[in-house]
Structure 1
Amino acid sequence: MKWMMAVWLVMALPMGVSGKPAAPVDWQHYHSKDGWWVDHHFLLVESQQWLTPSQVDQPAWQHEVSISVPWSAACPGRERDDHTALVIISGGDRPGAVLRESPGSLSTALALIFCRPVVEIRQVPNQPLVFSADATATPRREDSLLAWTMDRAARVGDMAPVQHAMVTAVRRSLDAVQAFSAQQPGLEPVVDFALLGSSKRGWTAWLVAAEDPRIRALVPVSIDMLNLAKQFDHQHRAYGEYTPALRAFSEQGIDCLIRTGPGKAMLATVDPYALRDRLSLPKLVINASGDAYFVSDSRQFYFADMGPNRWLRYTPNSGHRQGDSLDRVVRLSQVANWLDVILEGRTPPNVSAQLENPQWVITPSEPPRSMLLWQAVNPSARDFRQQSISNGWRATELDADGDGRYRVDLPDPDKGYQAWFVEARFGGWLAINQQVVTTDIQVRPQALPYPPRECDSHRADWGTSD
């Protein structure tokens, strides 16, 4: 049955990263679809007016938001829990004349696995956008949109980075989900959320979690970039250049901009590392061992500083998209297992690792089902991206010593570079019933092969936003 309804919802929430108090949220429930074991509801949310018509061609941000609710009968042996919903932040172009009326297969699968409502928020950010101050009149999307607005915010100051609007988009959509759930028959009110996002949506997830007390757990995927200034420096010293995947940021001069006073001030509002004191919630950070955007050992610049409630997972032989569809479904099942433990108030298993040269000592919090040592070699470069070594990570079983710990030698190779990480699997025999965590990635030799990037100290602007 289709029916339309518009309401205004005012939430007394803390100020967001934009520094502005929350405004009312306009939303419509435009469609419901009875599925097999899962029912789906669709909302159109207008989250904000970002900038003015004189600044940008499309200031009104809208989002298609789906809510997938499993049937109670689909949850054998447990009760469906409506109070905590899993939220997936997604991208895509702004809504068109025909709104989406079919659920994503991922939302359906996760609702059945998680036995809780699964919310997907699309069009984060709204895109493409054309800015009146942009001399190129380029329709900007994704990285180009982020980089241009970061530059403009620091150098001119007449707008905030688009990350601020992305945070607002998610928070206002969560407001709408709560309002809808409070009046939907057969659905208990949603109280709080677990948040999942990938790439720049993972970046957004970090920022939302720092601002919104409704977020109980966080799963950022493929966004191995916190402490951005050090990440840029490390990447240039490891590769001798920036990756093509980061071209939008390097061409905009963001790496040099964030060394300036205005650039540092801007970065302090969008780098989750700067907000780490507000990120004590449980978090499972999932990165790809061969991500084209980042250096494999990027976590050294942030992960240890993100509070005690942290779990890490590097996925072997995967790039930024984290493998094929089957890989992602299995991995999300394992994420759901981790979330179940967190939401029940228990502590998931984990590993800790210490360097006791020349050995690496790994200690699991409980006996694992298996421990694998993953290794990769590049004889010519300090580069373990998939484009450089393909599926070059190889696994061997590790055996525990008598004290229950695992030890790995980390010698410098005779030629080139070598990398290692250890993967621990806990739980059932089937992969979908397991929890998987890893150590960080260690690279030898540790010396970086290239000098730091030098910025032109005589340039006054560092960017090209107008």
Structure 2
Amino acid sequence: MKKNKLAIVFIFPLFLNLLFISSFTHADLKSYVTKPDPTYSYEIVDTKDIEGCKAKIIRLTSQTWQNIVWTHWLVLLCPPEIKNSDIAMLVISGGSNRQKEPNINSLEFKVAVTVAKKTNSVIAVLSQVPNQPLFDGRNEDEIIAYTYDKYLNGEGDEWPLLLPMVKSAVRAMDTIQLVQKDTDNHEIKRFVLTGGSKRGWTTWLTAATGDPRVVAIAPAVIDVLNMKQQMLHQLECYGTFSSEIEDYTRLKIPQRMHSPKGEQLLSIVDPYTYRNSLTLPKLILLGTNDPYWTVDSANLYFPDFPAPKYLCYQPNTGHDASPTGIATLAEFFLSTKEKKSFPSVSWEISKRNVINVKWDNPEGTAYLWKADSNNRDFRNSKWESTPLKGKGKAKAKLVQPKTGWSAYYVEVRFPGSFGNPYSICTQMKVLPENTYPFKVDKENVKAIPNDTTTK
């Protein structure tokens, strides 16, 4: 009996301590975002007509971070008929602090105008996320890696760059609501967020703050959730890390993820940490040939997120958006606006590698996509499709190659409201299964040639 009491005396405080640490690290994101900042302000500097949409051009100051004032261009694209729409899409974009004005003639804005008019909703484009260049001319991943290094060295809890990136998105939502109410007496209550790469990462984490205004997200080409496992997976596939993440590997960020401080960093910036609370609809847009990641990176996180969730692979596409991805994003926004369900696609793969796919929209048609690689590196592989027979369901045999590796997924294509079809896809399947060119020394986070691999 005394032993049990002693165990409780020692274990219970330890449990409370672990619980506190977990809660504290999760709170870092939300507490930073919700912390009052008197720097926040905005000014409508111009109003223009863009193909029938009123464009309100706003100079937004979102915050002061590390003694740096963050400013952004925020453009609201307002079609003529928006009174009955309580929803807006926020497109989180990049750009430079040297930008004297937003590039409203870009393809990004042309697409946004089309979606705004088709859905009779406000589409907002937020630029300069993050503010850059910073810290002696650093940009993009250079800045993120630099701030991670600062955090891991114990130089301050607010160093991770994703914190101010998320706050800029939240301040943009605040501004959109205020401007629409003040100028048009138009009330915005709901937001769909989207962005690519670092901005896709920002999209995930903005939803992770629990902001009730965010009702759906569509992160693009950020295929690195469950980050620690993703780094190990790159090693077993490539034998090294992708050269695209050199800014991180130069500072040994993947190795430092395995330290206590690294674990704490991941609990703040890895969207996988928040997976159980992210119950809102999620459309994940990915390129099959994205040089940053592995072909099957999504398999390390997608199954663990709660529904509703949707994958859209863009074939023969790198770290970018394709017409298929843009059409799917637009349809996803429209279905969210109208509070309609996105088509449900389900699948299972038998032990004999037969994939059975089902979908609930009878107008859908299925295609099997395949690519080959002699070394399990599909970044430069060519993807080709084969139509599958069936209405509402289809099946296909996934053939294991005699040499090398083959990757497969099924796309279900639906007629869209914008004149182009949109797609929902299954996860990737790579054959042979669980066979890699390299082993991984997890303790030292490095690859070892796999002599038993004959591929």
Are 1:71 and 2:70 matched, yes or no? no
Residue equivalent to 2:29? 17
AA matched with 2:56: H
Decide which moves more: 162-171 or 244-253.
244-253
The within-5 A match list for 1:48-127 is 48-52=63-67, 59-72=68-81, 81-95=84-98, 98-100=100-102, 102=104, 104-127=109-132
SS in 1 for 2:29: coil
Residue equivalent to 2:410? 422
| Alignment partners' CA distance in 1, 2:27 and 2:111 | 32
**What stretches of structure 1 move > 6 A for 4+ residues in a row?**
none
Query: What's the CA shift for 1:99?
Result: 3.2
Residue equivalent to 1:160? 159
| Alignment partners' CA distance in 2, 1:252 and 1:114 | 45
Q: 1:85 to 1:364 in 2, by over 3 A?
A: same
Residue equivalent to 1:281? 280
The within-5 A match list for 1:141-152 is 141-152=139-150
User: Is this contact kept in 1: 2:366–2:411, CA < 8 A?
Assistant: yes
Partner residue of 2:390 out of 400, 406, 409: 400
**Residues 134-160 of structure 1: per-residue CA shift (max 9 Å, x gap):** xxxx42110111111112112223242
Decide which moves more: 436-445 or 334-343.
334-343
Query: What's the CA shift for 1:81?
Result: 4.2
| Alignment partners' CA distance in 1, 2:168 and 2:151 | 19
**Residues 317-373 of structure 1: per-residue CA shift (max 9 Å, x gap):** 1111134xxx2xx53233222222223222111211112111122122232431101
Q: 1:22 to 1:239 in 2, by over 3 A?
A: same
| Alignment partners' CA distance in 1, 2:71 and 2:119 | 27
**Residues 115-143 of structure 1: per-residue CA shift (max 9 Å, x gap):** 2111000000001111xxxxxxx421101
**Residues 421-455 of structure 1: per-residue CA shift (max 9 Å, x gap):** 10001235x87353310001111112122011556
Query: What's the CA shift for 1:247?
Result: 1.0
Query: What's the CA shift for 1:16?
Result: 6.7
**Residues 279-330 of structure 1: per-residue CA shift (max 9 Å, x gap):** 110011111111000101111111111111101111111111134xxx2xx5
Partner residue of 2:346 out of 335, 348, 352: 352
Alignment TM-score, normalising by the size of structure 1: 0.83
SS in 2 for 1:126: coil
Structure 2, gaps ≥5 residues long: 1-25, 446-455
Identity %: 29
Residue equivalent to 2:47? 32
Greater helix share, structure number = 2
| Alignment partners' CA distance in 2, 1:455 and 1:181 | 54
Structure 1, gaps ≥5 residues long: 1-13, 53-58, 73-78, 131-137, 458-466
| Alignment partners' CA distance in 2, 1:412 and 1:34 | 55
AA matched with 1:90: S
Q: 1:456 to 1:233 in 2, by over 3 A?
A: closer
Residue equivalent to 1:449? 437
Residue equivalent to 2:356? 361
Q: 1:68 to 1:16 in 2, by over 3 A?
A: farther
SS in 2 for 1:382: coil
Cα RMSD after superposing both structures = 2.1
User: Is this contact kept in 2: 1:63–1:95, CA < 8 A?
Assistant: no
| Alignment partners' CA distance in 1, 2:141 and 2:199 | 11
| Alignment partners' CA distance in 2, 1:250 and 1:299 | 21
| Alignment partners' CA distance in 2, 1:230 and 1:101 | 38
SS in 2 for 1:371: strand
Alignment TM-score, normalising by the size of structure 2: 0.85
SS in 1 for 2:129: coil
| Alignment partners' CA distance in 1, 2:122 and 2:441 | 47
Decide which moves more: 148-157 or 99-108.
99-108
Q: 1:374 to 1:431 in 2, by over 3 A?
A: farther
Residue equivalent to 1:410? 398
Residue equivalent to 2:15? none
